[in-house]
Chains A and B, each alone.
Chain A
Amino acid sequence: MDFTTYGIKAGFTYKLSGRHLFEANGTYYTDPPSLRNSFSNSRENNATVIGLTEEKTIQVDGSYIYRSPIVKLKLTGYYTLMQDASNISFFYADGISVQGADQVQTNGFIQEVLTDIDTKSLGAELGIQAQLTPTLKLKAAAAYGQNTYDNNPQLYIASNFRDKSIETFSYGYSYLKDYKVAGGPQQAYQMGFEYRDPEFWWFGVTANYFSNAYINVSPLARTKNFYLDSDGMPFTNYDPEIARALLKQEKFDDYILVNLVGGKSWKIRDYYVGFFASVNNILDKTYKTGGYEQGRNANFKTMSKDIQYDPRVFGPKYWYGYGTTYYMNFYIRF
Chain B
Amino acid sequence: MASCVHDDDFSVPQINLEEPSVNVNTSIVSVKKMYRGYEPVKVETGPDSKEPMYIEAYVVSSDESGNYYKTLIVQDSPENPIAGVSISTDVTDLYTKYSPGRKIYFRVDGLYIGQYAGLPTLGIQNGNEIGRIGREDFESRIKRSLETFEIVPTVISVAEATNKDRLNTLIKFEDVQFPDGMAGVEHFGNLNNNYGVNRIVEDCNKNTVLLRTNGYADFKNLALPEGNGSLIAILSIFNSDFQVFIRDISDVQMTGERCD
Contact = CB atoms under 8 A, between A and B. Distances in A.
Interface of A: 79, 104, 122, 146, 148, 175-180, 222-224, 226-227, 229-238, 240, 243-244, 247-249, 251
Given A180-B5, A231-B97, A236-B97, A224 B16 contact: yes
Interface string B1-39: 110110111111111110010000000000000000000
Given A146-B4, A146-B5, A175 B143 contact: no
Which 7 residue pairs across A and B have the least CB separation, nearest first?
A178-B9, A233-B144, A243-B12, A148-B5, A236-B99, A178-B10, A244-B12
B95 to A, nearest CB: 8
A178 B5 contact: yes
Contacts of A177: 10-11
B192 interface: no
Nearest to B146: A233
Contact of B12 (A180, A234, A240): A240
Interface string B164-185: 0000000000000000000000
9 contacts: A104-B139, A122-B2, A146-B5, A178-B10, A180-B7, A224-B15, A233-B97, A233-B146, A234-B17
Nearest to A148: B5
Contact of B17 (A222, A233, A247): A233
Interface of B: 1-2, 4-5, 7-17, 20, 95-97, 99, 102, 139, 142-144, 146, 148
A227 B15 contact: yes
Nearest to A230: B139
A231 B2 contact: no
B13 A223 contact: yes
B59 to A, nearest CB: 10
Nearest to B2: A122
Contacts of A104: 139
Contacts of B5: 146, 148, 178, 180
Nearest to B148: A236
B13 A226 contact: yes
Contact of A175 (B1, B12, B15): B12
Contacts of B144: 231, 233
Contacts of B17: 224, 232-234
Contacts of A231: 97, 139, 142-144
Contacts of A248: 7-8, 10
Interface residues of chain B: helix, strand, loop or mixed (majority): loop
Q: Which of A229, A230, A234, A243 has the most B CB atoms < 10 Å from its CB? A: A234
B150 to A, nearest CB: 15
A6 to B, nearest CB: 24
Contact of A227 (B13, B95, B148): B13
Nearest to B102: A236
Nearest to B142: A231
Nearest to A246: B12
A240 to B, nearest CB: 6
Contacts of A226: 12-13
A240 B12 CA distance: 7
A234 B96 CA distance: 11
Contacts of A227: 13, 15
A79 B102 contact: no
B96 A236 contact: yes
B10 A179 contact: yes
A251 to B, nearest CB: 6
Contacts of A222: 12-13
A306 B66 CA distance: 24
B139 A79 contact: no
Contacts of A235: 96
Contacts of B139: 104, 230-231
Contacts of B95: 236
Q: Which of B1, B15, B16 has the most A CB atoms < 10 Å from its CB? A: B15
Contacts of B96: 229, 235-237
B10 A249 contact: yes
A163 to B, nearest CB: 12
A247 B10 CA distance: 9
A167 B228 CA distance: 61
A72 to B, nearest CB: 28
Given A229-B96, A233-B20, 12 more contacts: A146-B4, A175-B12, A175-B13, A177-B11, A180-B5, A222-B12, A224-B16, A227-B13, A233-B17, A243-B12, A248-B7, A248-B10
Q: Which of B12, B14, B142, B144 has the most A CB atoms < 10 Å from its CB? A: B12
A180 B146 CA distance: 33
B13 A243 contact: yes
A180 B6 CA distance: 9
